[in-house]
Structure formats: structure tokens, C-alpha cells
A and B are shown apart, each in its own frame.
Chain A
Amino acid sequence: MDSDTVIRLRRVVLRLARQLNAASVGEGLTPTQASVLGVVNSRGPVSLADLAEIEGLNPTMLSRVVGKLDSFGLIRRLRDPDDFRAARVAGTPQGRDAYERISAQRAAIISECVADLPAEQADALVAALPALENLASGLRTRRGRGQPAGDDQTKPA
């Protein structure tokens, strides 16, 4: 595999994601807090164990983030009286509003970046979205490297 291209891709994805962090800062949240808020909002009530796995956070760090979001009124803890470890968190109406503002702000940041691109390149970006979606979902869509195509779940864009 062409390492140079992969390293450039890695760098540019991380840099763009960092630009998007400005949206969470606008809501007074750290990127990690905004990310946890996003998971709770898009998935509904979620256990702390699942959250830790999804976010790649250790339990100490996660409970700090959850405590903050709870104190801001953006999420609330659901306690399971039978099983302490099964503790879950759910969103609140304020949390949903904050999450929607962050999402809109992120979209605005991207829109502004795209606005001045030539139409051809903006179209190419739109055309690349399904392939990016597959990457983000972890779907395997290998091609052109000699693997059998039988396992492919989707066609590359």
C-alpha cells in the first residue's frame, strides 16, 4: 500500500476533524464531552460500558465526562437498582438542543470550506460520501487487489 498517501489521508482527516471541534467549544464543551453527547443523542439510552467502548475512554475519564454533562443538564444518569454496573445515561431536551446546535455549526464549518471550491470538486466530494460512509461504518469494500468480490456488502463509489 502507498504509505505516503495513507499518511496524508490520516493527517488531513485529523486536521479537518480538529477544525470541527470549534463547534463544541462554542457550546462550552470539550471535544470529548461533545462526542459523548453525540453518542447519547444518536443512540438513545446507552450503558456506561458501551460508551467507554465506543469512545475509547477509560472508566475514570468517562465518569468525569458523564459527570460534567450531567451537571450541565445535558444528559442524565439512569440508575438500575439491581445492577450498579449496568448504569446507563440518557439525553435531556437541553442536551438534544445543544447537540443539534453543535451539528448545525459543524455543517456550517464544512459548508464554508466547500463554498469556494470549483463545482467540479464539490461534486466529487458529494460523490465520495458513500465511500466515506462505508469507511466510517467499517464496511469492507476492497477491490482491485485480487480479493474475491463475493464478501462485498456494497459497491465502491
Chain B
Amino acid sequence: MEYEDSAQLADLLQRLTKRLRHAQAERLAPLGLTPAQERALRMITRSQEPPRMTELADHLGIVPRSVTTVIDALEQAGLVRREVDPRNRRAIRLHLTDQGLAVRDGMREARRRAAEDLFAPLSGADREALAKLLGLLDRKAEVIP
């Protein structure tokens, strides 16, 4: 592969990512969440066990006071509830409510739909081939420090 091809592929990956984020933002808009609330919900979703506020702050890279604002809003919307950790009475852990679980599913669906929109112009075979090729590239990328 020539240098120009590598430069073009790098540029394309960034532009595709931007388009994907655009499409996701549009699909997520009806859920009425701020980007910070979305990130907080996703982190709570992915966490092995219900996270503590401090863990959430670390993960999101924001100060604990800002996390409090985000969680207050999510709690008020009925998506998250604070519960005392039975193993450590001083720790509060964050749980998704049933409504929070439904919104999480809605977020997943929105991201999937956005990706479908983006890749719709490709045939199924082309999508499969592209996923495989880029997957090989990604595996190489992982081993580069």
C-alpha cells in the first residue's frame, strides 16, 4: 500500500467516525439525554457491579461534584437510583431502574440504527468483506504500543 493510500484510509476512518457520531447523536436525540448523562448511563451499564460515584467520576474524567449533578438529573428522570452498599454502609452504589434499563436498550438500538444508516449503501457481501479487512488492521493496531 502506497503512502497516499494509507493517508487516505486514515482520513476516511476519521470521516466515517464523524458521520457515525452525527448519525448517533440524531438517533439518540429523542431520548432527551445530555452527552454527559449518556456517558454516565453507558458506564453504569458496562460496569461489572453497580459503580460508586467516585468510580464514575474517575471513569468520566470529571470532578465528583459534576457527577452529582449528572446523577441527580438521571435519578429525577427515574433512570438511576442510589443504593447503600450492603458491604460498606458508607458507600453509595448506582443502579439502573427498569426504566433505566429500557433507556439503555433504546441507546443500543439508536447506535445500531445509526451504523445501519451509515453502511446501508454497501451490499451484505461488501459489508462482510470490509468488516473482515478492517478487523485484520485493527488486530495489527493493537500490538503497536
Contact surface of A with B, Cβ cutoff 8 Å: 1-3, 5-10, 12-17, 19-20, 35, 38, 54-56, 103-104, 106-114, 116-117, 121-122, 124-126, 128-129, 131-145, 156-157
Tell me what chain B mostly uses at the interface: helix, strand, loop, or mixed.
Answer: helix
- Please determine whether A1 and B116 come into contact, CB atoms closer than 8 angstroms: yes
Please, which residue of chain B has its CB at the minimum distance from the CB of A39? B18
Bound: A56/B25 CA distance, A: 8
On whether the beta carbons of A109 and B127 are closer than 8 Å, the reply is no
- B91 sits at the interface (CB 8 A): no
Partner of A143, one of B5, B123, B134, B140: B123
Nearest residue (CB) in A for B139 is A113
- Minimum CB–CB distance from A148 to chain B (whole Å) comes to 14
In the assembled complex, B121 has its CB within 8 A of some CB on chain A: yes
- A97 and B126 alpha carbons, distance in the complex (Å): 37
Contacts A129-B12, A132-B9, A136-B19 given; indicate if A10 touches B115 (C-beta within 8 A): yes
A6-B9 in contact given A13-B17, A19-B141, A117-B140 (Cβ < 8 Å)? no
Q: Residues 3-40 of chain B: 1 if any A CB is under 8 Å from the residue's CB, otherwise 0?
A: 10111111111111111111001000000000000000
- Whole-angstrom distance between the Cβ of B142 and the nearest chain A Cβ: 8
CB-contact partner of B7 in A106, A121, A133, under 8 A: A106
In the complex formed, the residue of B with least CB distance to A114 is B1
Q: How far is the CB of B23 from chain A (nearest CB, A)?
A: 10
Contacts known (A56-B18, A122-B1); A110 close to B9, Cβ less than 8 A? yes
Q: What is B's interface to A at a CB cutoff of 8 Å?
A: 1, 3, 5-22, 25, 111-112, 114-116, 118-124, 126-131, 133-138, 140-141, 144
User: Do residues A136 and B15 form an inter-chain contact, with CB atoms below 8 A?
Assistant: yes
Residues of B near A139 (CB, < 8 A) are: 121
* Cβ of B45 to closest chain A Cβ, rounded Å: 16
**Within the complex, what minimum Cβ distance (angstroms) separates B38 from chain A?**
13
18 A-B pairs in the complex with CB atoms less than 8 angstroms apart: A5-B131, A6-B116, A7-B115, A9-B115, A14-B17, A16-B141, A19-B138, A106-B10, A107-B3, A107-B10, A110-B6, A113-B137, A113-B138, A117-B137, A126-B5, A129-B5, A133-B12, A136-B15
Interchain CB contact under 8 A, B122 and A112:
no
